[in-house]
Amino acid sequence: MKKILVYIAALLFVMVSATGQAAKLEVKKNMGQMNAKTRIATLAGGCFWCVESDFEKAHGVLKVVSGYTGGPGENPTYENYGKKGHVEAVQVFYDPSKITYEKLLDIFWRHIDPTDAGGQFGDRGPYYRSVIFYHDEEQKRIAEKSRDALGKSGRFDKPIVTEILKFTRFYDAEEYHQDYYKTNPLQYKSYRQGSGRDQFLETIWKNDQRSVTPPPGKVYVKPAFQNEYWNNKKEGIYVDIASGEPLFSSLDKYDSGTGWPSFTRPLAPGLVVEKKDNTFFTQRTEVKSRYGGSHLGHVFPDGPAPTGLRYCMNSAALRFIPKEELEKEGYGQYVKLFEKK
C-alpha cells in the first residue's frame, strides 16, 4: 500500500521532470554501447525501483530495465502483474568483458534478503519474492553454485530460499517506473528508507569491508595505519567498492604520513564529486564517487606537487585492482598507464 501511495503522488508530476529527461538521454547513450557481445541477467529482488538503482551503479552494466516476469499471464501491468503470476524484476544488460555474471550475482545477494520467501522488506507477497531467472545452462550452473556458497558462508542464520527458475519472457514495466530513482529522487529515497532495505543490509554486512557492496553513501572506517591500503605499494588502480567506478591510480599515490591511502589527484577530472562538509565543528571538503554516491574521504590543500592536494581516502570504500588484472577485470583502458616508456 505504501508503495502504491508513493506512486500515485509521483505520477502527478513525473512527466514534466527535468531529471527524467536527463535520465532518458543517459539510457539512450548506454544503449549505443550495446552490441552482439552484450549479455542479459534477469533478477527479482523485491521493489524494482531499488534493484534497478543498485545495478545501474555497477561498472560494466550498460542499462537496467524494470519489468515483470515469471508468470503465465500475458501483457501484465502494474495493476495486475501479481494476479497474472509475475514478480517485479529487472533485466541487466552488461558487458561481460567488464563485469561477470558471478559478480552480478555477488551484487544481487548484497542488496536483498535471500532468506525471505514472503517478499522483500516492506513489500509483502509472492510477487515481491527473490528469484534468479537463468537464460541458459551456464547461468543456471553459476547461479546454483553462487547460492550454495552463500548458504555455506554462515552470513545468514536462516536457509537461503531465493529461487532459480528458467527464464521465459520479460515484459517492460510502464515508462514512469523506469529510472524512478532518478526521475523522482525524493519519493524514491523516502520509500527506500521506509522499506527497511538499507537498514537490513547495513546490519548484515557491517563487519565485511572487503566483499560487501555497501548501501550508497555508507562506509565503515578502520583506524589509521590499520586499514588495508594505507601502505599498499603495488601498481594498479583503485575503484569504488560499491559501484566499480575507477577513481585513483597508484601512480598518484604517496605516503602522507597520516596512515590513510593518499593521492594527489583522481584518475581523471570528473570521476569524483566534491562537496562542503561542516561536521565535527570544522569545514572540510568531502569526496564522493560520481555515480555510486559513496563517501570516499576528504581532500585537503596540503599535498605535494604537482597539484598541492591530498585526497585522503577510506580503504573500506575502495577496491584495489593490480595492473596485471586490469584487462580481466574490465579496466583494460588503464593498462597503458603502467607501460614503461
For the record, the C-alpha cell of 323 comes out as 595492473
Torsion from C-alpha of 106, 108, 114, 118, nearest 10 degrees: -170
Residue 295 pLDDT: 86
Tell me the CATH number for domain 2-205. 3.30.1060.10
pTM for the model stands at 0.61
223 cis-preceded (ω within 30 degrees of 0): no
pLDDT for residue 15 = 36
Helices 137-152 & 101-109 angle (0-180, nearest 10): 40
Residue 42 corresponds to which amino acid?
T
> How would you classify the pairing of strands 87-94 and 119-120?
unpaired
pLDDT at residue number 215: 45
Strand partners, 92: 41, 64
Say which residue the cell 568483458 belongs to.
97
Q: Domain spans of the chain?
A: 2-205, 236-338
Q: Where are the beta strands (DSSP E) in 190-249?
A: 236-240, 246-249
For residue 65, list its beta bridge partners. 91
Calpha distance 21→137 (Å, rounded):
38
Angle at 333 between CA 332 and CA 337, to 5 degrees: 105
Answer for the pair 182, 52: CB distance below 8 angstroms, yes or no: no
CB atoms within 10 A of CB 291: 18
8 Å CB contact between 101 and 134: no
Using CA atoms, how far apart are residues 180 and 275, in angstroms rounded to an integer? Answer: 25
CATH topology agreement for domains 2-205 and 236-338: no
Catalytic residue set: 47, 312
Instruction: Walk along the chain (341 residues) and give the pLDDT tens digit of each residue.
Output: 445 444 444 444 333 343 444 444 444 444 456 667 899 999 999 999 999 999 988 888 999 999 999 999 999 999 999 999 999 999 999 999 888 899 899 899 989 999 999 999 999 999 999 999 999 999 999 999 999 999 998 889 999 999 999 999 999 999 999 999 989 988 898 898 889 998 888 788 764 544 334 444 455 567 889 899 999 999 999 998 877 889 999 999 999 999 999 999 999 888 898 988 776 567 789 998 887 777 899 999 999 999 999 999 999 889 999 999 998 888 888 999 998 75
What would the grid cell of residue 54 be?
A: 543498485
Fold classification of 236-338 (topology level): 2.170.150
